[in-house]
Amino acid sequence: MVGDQHGDAAGMIVLCTDFGLEGPYTGQVKAVLARAAPAVPVVDLFADLPPFRPQGAGYLLAAYGAVFMPGDVILTVVDPGVGGARAALALEADGRWYVGPDNGIFELVLRRAQAPRCWRIDWRPAALSATFHGRDLFAPVAAALALGEAPRGKEGPPTRHPGWPDDLAEIVYVDRYGNAMTGMRAAILPAGTELEVAGARIPRARTFSDVPPGALLWYANANGLAEIAANGASAAATLGLAPGAGVAVHPPG
């Protein structure tokens, strides 16, 4: 869990979106939350999830959501189908709440949780825009959950994606250092495994400074995913990596 100390905060709302922070989307979501649940802290976990890619976001969410605590509400929006036929969901998984679109973004959270429950949100606000359900629909639902209200809908199953792997051998996110996260949990990869991406075969290390300056490494990142980096340099720039790039796994031996 994030934080050794447990303070006064009863729970927080965690934003995981592709909205960006500098443009008008996250700010309008926070204005709704500040009006509806002014005492609840709001934390920006991801605002730069790769747009149009709910599958990759699902692997990130399963790894990063896990550090939050029971009672926290994780508002998750990568929603290229906004305003179309896709349903809106509220999930309870291992004590945490998740709110967002029914497009696969919760597939891995559901798969790894103990006895998750799911509601299809049928509440609608007085004014619902066609393209910004984050503000109009998901934020009020998240605020209500953070305040202890019941989900605004009927319990019912989400759309499942049984064909998706448990771990995705693909780049799902590139951070500002040029580190490239895969959708694979490091713990499933045997000692001595090498990862291959963009023609480079990369050994495992514990941290950046364990390899020479400029050298590539992969490591178990601080949230458990296998991540490709370079010591003091950008692996993404060196290798030309972007979300969606495939990764090959070479077990030892």
CA 51/CA 18 separation, integer angstroms = 6
Least distance to a second copy, CB of residue 115, Å:
25
Token couple for 183 = 């959708």
Of residues 7 and 199, the one with the C-beta less far from a second copy = 7
Q: Is 18 in the site for a second copy (CB under 8 A)?
A: yes
| Region near a second copy per CB under 8 A, out of 113-121, 162-170, 229-237, 239-247 | 229-237
Going through the chain in order, the beta strands assigned E by DSSP cover 13-17, 42-46, 73-77, 88-93, 96-101, 117-121, 153-155, 168-174, 180-185, 194-197, 200-202, 216-220, 225-230, 248-250
Q: How far apart are the first and last CA of the chain?
A: 35
Going through 60-177 in order, the beta strands assigned E by DSSP cover 73-77, 88-93, 96-101, 117-121, 153-155, 168-174
Of residues 146 and 168, the one with the C-beta less far from a second copy = 146
Instruction: Give the one residue of 52, 159, 242, 252 binding a second copy; rule: CB under 8 A.
Output: 52
Instruction: Give the one residue of 66, 169, 215, 233 binding a second copy; rule: CB under 8 A.
Output: 233
Question: Which parts of 98-157 interact with a second copy (CB under 8 A)?
Answer: 125-126, 129-132, 135-136, 139-140, 143
Instruction: Give the one residue of 83, 157, 192, 240 binding a second copy; rule: CB under 8 A.
Output: 83
Least distance to a second copy, CB of residue 176, Å:
4
Instruction: Give the one residue of 59, 68, 119, 138 binding a second copy; rule: CB under 8 A.
Output: 68
